Structure 1
Amino acid sequence: MIVDIFTLCDSAKEYQGKLVIVGTFNTISAIQFPATHPELAIVARIVMGNQEKGKHTLKISIKKENEDAYLVNPFNMDIDNSNLQTEVGNLNLIFNVNNLLIPSAGKYVVTLEIGELVKESTLYVVTVKQ
């Protein structure tokens, strides 16, 4: 199992098995906190082989580094690729987040877990002057 793509972006869509990712980023800027980010998407493409056929639990979250302060509380999703007909298959995932309340600037960790596989990406939240 390989996480081929894992990113934050402005928006994403899937068309005929292809991911269309618009505006990938790793930094959110705000003049003051708390701040609200209107919308973003967490996007992943997971490549699975025949040896990974079956049911899996996927978990995703965004939390402040070295703290228990979550921007996106952990949520689980069950996936089942038992019907995989080819040697490998792609699982495209798009998680849309609207009106994300960000309490403070800092370094946040976006985490994707599926089975024993853990993939992390960093989200920097910074203060900018007006």
Structure 2
Amino acid sequence: MDIQVATLCDSAMDYNSKLCLLGTFDTIGSRAVPIVHPQCALALRVCFRQADEGEHQMTIRMIDADSKDIMQPLQASVDIRLPEGTDFITRNMILNFQPLRFETGGTYFFEVSFNGDVKSTVPLRVLVVEGEQAGA
């Protein structure tokens, strides 16, 4: 299996098997902690081949720079069956967060694994911004 797309974005949806993304990003900031991002999505597009047929355990972890879990890992069972005569299938997977909260600034990661094997790591930089507001 190959993860073709793994990104954080403002919004994502699956439209007739097309992965539609709006506003991908890798950095958020705030003037104070805790840092709360009101809404975002982790969007994935995964390609499965014939060798991937069967049951798989997918896990998504949100971790800090020390690999400590920031939230409870999310797990799902994924059963892959390819239609006869098909070499591959793709599946879009979207995980929405409302809100996303960080107690401190730093670098965080969304780690995506199948059967315990990490397939993708999506970084997120969380900044505490200093200085005056523009126009103040």
Same fold (TM > 0.5): yes
Deviation for aligned residue 1:20: 0.3
Residue 96 in 1 paired to residue 88 in 2? no
Q: Which residue of 1 aligns with 2:129?
A: 128
Q: Is the 8 A contact 2:45 2:92 kept in 1?
A: yes
Which structure shows the bigger proportion of residues in strand conformation? 1
Q: Return the alpha-carbon distance in structure 1 between the equivalents of residues 102 and 54 of structure 2.
A: 37
With over 3 angstroms needed to count, the CA separation of the structure-2 counterparts of 1:69 and 1:112, relative to structure 1, is: closer
The amino acid across from 1:47 in the alignment is C
The amino acid across from 2:40 in the alignment is L
Normalized against structure 1, the TM-score is what? 0.93
**Runs of 4 or more off by more than 2 Å in structure 1?**
115-118
Deviation for aligned residue 1:67: 4.9
> Unpaired segments of 5 or more residues in structure 1?
none
Q: Which residue of 2 aligns with 1:80?
A: 79
Normalized against structure 2, the TM-score is what? 0.89
Aligned partner of residue 39 in structure 2, secondary structure: strand
Q: Which moved more, 1:109-118 or 1:54-63?
A: 109-118
Q: Return the alpha-carbon distance in structure 1 between the equivalents of residues 97 and 114 of structure 2.
A: 20
Aligned partner of residue 73 in structure 1, secondary structure: coil
The amino acid across from 1:8 in the alignment is L
Deviation for aligned residue 1:81: 1.2
CA deviations 1:7-54 (Å, max 9, x no partner) are 000000001100000000000111110121100000111101011001
Aligned partner of residue 93 in structure 1, secondary structure: strand
With over 3 angstroms needed to count, the CA separation of the structure-2 counterparts of 1:117 and 1:52, relative to structure 1, is: farther
Q: Which residue of 2 aligns with 1:62?
A: 62
Q: Is the 8 A contact 2:29 2:35 kept in 1?
A: no
Q: Return the alpha-carbon distance in structure 1 between the equivalents of residues 61 and 118 of structure 2.
A: 14
Q: Return the alpha-carbon distance in structure 1 between the equivalents of residues 2 and 119 of structure 2.
A: 10
Q: Which moved more, 1:109-118 or 1:27-36?
A: 109-118
Q: Return the alpha-carbon distance in structure 1 between the equivalents of residues 69 and 56 of structure 2.
A: 26
The amino acid across from 1:81 in the alignment is I
